[in-house]
Amino acid sequence: MAKQTTILKDVIVEGIGLHTGNNSKIVFKPAQANYGIHFVRVDLPGKPDLLANWQNLSDEVAIRGTIIENNGVKMYTVEHILAICSALKIDNLIVEIDNNEPPISDGSAKLLTQEILSAGIKELDAQREYYIVKEPVTFSDGKTTITAYPSDKFEIDCTIGFEHPFLANQQGKFVITEETFINDIAPSRTFCFDFEIEALQANGLAKGGSLENAIVIGPAGIYNKEPLRYQDEFVRHKTLDIIGDLYLLGKQIKAKIVAVKPGHKNNGLFVKEFIKKAILVKDENKAEEKVQEQIVGERIINSAEIQTIIPHRYPILMVDRVKLTDDTKRATGYKAVSGNEGFFQGHFPGQPIMPGVLIVEAMAQTSCVLFLSRPNMKNKLAYFMGIDNVKFRKTVIPGDMLELKIEVIKDSGTKGKVKGEAFVDGKLVTEAEFMFILVDRGA
């Protein structure tokens, strides 16, 4: 049974804030059970206290950092401290600070992590609580899509993309543990493009930024003397930010987070969506039991397993996850529609719409997974013989999450018929019926 924790002793850290440019001193202090993570502004009268949770997210646009606020008192760029607390499983902490932004250090969470670890971690006499989800939870805005899937671990699959010759896209997949965070995520530094600096400073940001605490990217590479710490350091830092922003939930989570083009503002909006559907369980064992409960009579097939069942690959793989029921007659597929999809370049420029035939293809692939996942179908392929009663009811655009519901109408073993329906936000967007034949691979 997992217990809540705090630190053993005080730790003092000093330095300059990335965006405000203000010098500050932090004193990390132990806290009692069920306290949470609190920032205390000791520089202000009454020492106002800010609980780090989603309800205190500031309405101020969080483009380059996460801001919490209460009664007009703000704390800027809290995400690195929250990420450290999340990854090290520190549930309760007092963060006394004499200004409005923590020190940025070298642009990463490495040094702060080391300082907090040096204090030691203390167990408290209270059970830890976890948030889990029983069904996917999705937030979309423009080219950003963030989805939480049920899992017995905390996992992050993050993809970033920019219209830039040096940094087109990167993807990173991590199971978030203390060891993974310390070795693979915490040392990754914040970054920006050279053409952004003037605009950031004009908007009151990056006043404390320099090549000592941020990676600056130019057309041909980085300006920093220190080389990249990882080849994919940029997506690792975005993963660091997600970990921190998710800890605004106030509890640890057990879920797989799939994020496409995340940022602080959308991370915060996702947290608010997640909390609506999350279930709070008392401890780690209970979390695992609850996740298992939701798949009794079901089988969840992830993207990697899908590719062992059907032959489709990028760019024509159109389903990310499939849920099968135990009666083998129904399946639900999920497809996160990203603005990075290649077909949006031509369909249509300036008004991206997912081609209807690809929505039908996504339903068809979900049907293939349903049939070919059976043990006696390992060496088979599904060929479609006909498609009837196709109706397109609504458009599908970047940021949508397709829910693809499949039901078997007829099944003779080698031939069959299924009905497919595609939904976005519970609204039917496409429907069709498929006839198919199963053949040996290579036939």
Report the interhelical angle of 233-246 vs 79-87 (nearest 10°): 80
57: tokens are 């997210």
pLDDT of residue 327 exceeding 70: no
Write down all domains in the chain, each with its CATH number in brackets: 3-126 (3.30.230.20), 131-293 (3.30.1700.10), 298-440 (3.10.129.10)
pLDDT of residue 284 exceeding 70: no
High-pLDDT (> 90) share of the chain, %: 67
Find the DSSP H helices in 294-375: 303-309, 356-372
Contact 398, 438 (CB under 8 A): no
Longest dimension (CA), the chain: 79
Which residue among 19, 237, 264, 312 is the active-site one? Answer: 264
101: tokens are 């932004």
3-state SS class at 376: helix
pLDDT of residue 225 exceeding 90: yes
Contact 399, 339 (CB under 8 A): yes
pLDDT of residue 167 exceeding 50: yes
Range 145-167 average pLDDT: 92
Give the pTM: 0.70
380-415: pLDDT as tens digits: 888 989 999 999 999 999 888 899 999 999 988 788
Range 229-234 average pLDDT: 96
Local structure of residue 403 (DSSP, 8 states)? E
CA dihedral over 61, 62, 68, 74, signed as positive or negative: negative
Q: Distance (Å, rounded) from C-alpha 109 to C-alpha 187?
A: 6
High-pLDDT (> 70) share of the chain, %: 94
Q: Is 164 a catalytic residue?
A: no
Q: Give residue 288's pLDDT band: very low, low, confident or very high (50, 70, 90).
A: low
pLDDT confidence of residue 177: 96
Range 80-104 average pLDDT: 96
pLDDT of residue 216 exceeding 70: yes
Cβ neighbors of 262 (< 8 A, separation 6 or more) are 144, 146, 158, 160, 238, 241, 242, 270
135 vs 61: which has the higher pLDDT: 135
Contact 260, 285 (CB under 8 A): no
pLDDT of residue 423 exceeding 90: yes
Count CB-CB contacts under 10 A for residue 126.
15
Q: Give residue 443's pLDDT band: very low, low, confident or very high (50, 70, 90).
A: low
Q: Give residue 283's pLDDT band: very low, low, confident or very high (50, 70, 90).
A: low
Q: Give residue 107's pLDDT band: very low, low, confident or very high (50, 70, 90).
A: very high
39-58: pLDDT as tens digits: 999 999 999 999 999 999 99
Q: Distance (Å, rounded) from C-alpha 256 to C-alpha 262?
A: 15
pLDDT confidence of residue 363: 95
3-18: pLDDT as tens digits: 999 999 999 999 998 7
Helix (H) or strand (E) holding 277: helix 264-277
Range 122-150 average pLDDT: 92
For 156-198, give the secondary structure using H, E and C.
Answer: EEEEEECCCCCCCEEEEEEECCHHHHHHHHCCCCCEEEHHHHH
Count CB-CB contacts under 10 A for residue 380.
18
Report the interhelical angle of 79-87 vs 110-119 (nearest 10°): 50
374: tokens are 């059976």
pLDDT confidence of residue 52: 97
297 vs 343: which has the higher pLDDT: 343
pLDDT of residue 227 exceeding 60: yes
Q: Distance (Å, rounded) from C-alpha 332 to C-alpha 363?
A: 9
Peptide bond into 315 cis (omega under 30): yes
215: tokens are 């990676």
Q: Is 264 a catalytic residue?
A: yes
The 3-state DSSP composition of the chain as helix, strand, coil percent (nearest 5) reads 25, 35, 40
Backbone angles phi, psi at 105, to 5 degrees: 60, -130
The closest of 371, 389, 367 to 380, measured between CA atoms, is 371
Contact 256, 138 (CB under 8 A): no
pLDDT confidence of residue 295: 45
pLDDT of residue 142 exceeding 90: no
Local structure of residue 20 (DSSP, 8 states)? T
Query: Taking phi first (over 0 means left), then psi (-120 to 50 degrees means alpha), and beta for anything else, what does residue 421 get?
Result: beta
Q: Distance (Å, rounded) from C-alpha 66 to C-alpha 57?
A: 8
Range 126-148 average pLDDT: 92
- The residue type found at 405 is K
Average pLDDT taken over every residue of the chain: 90
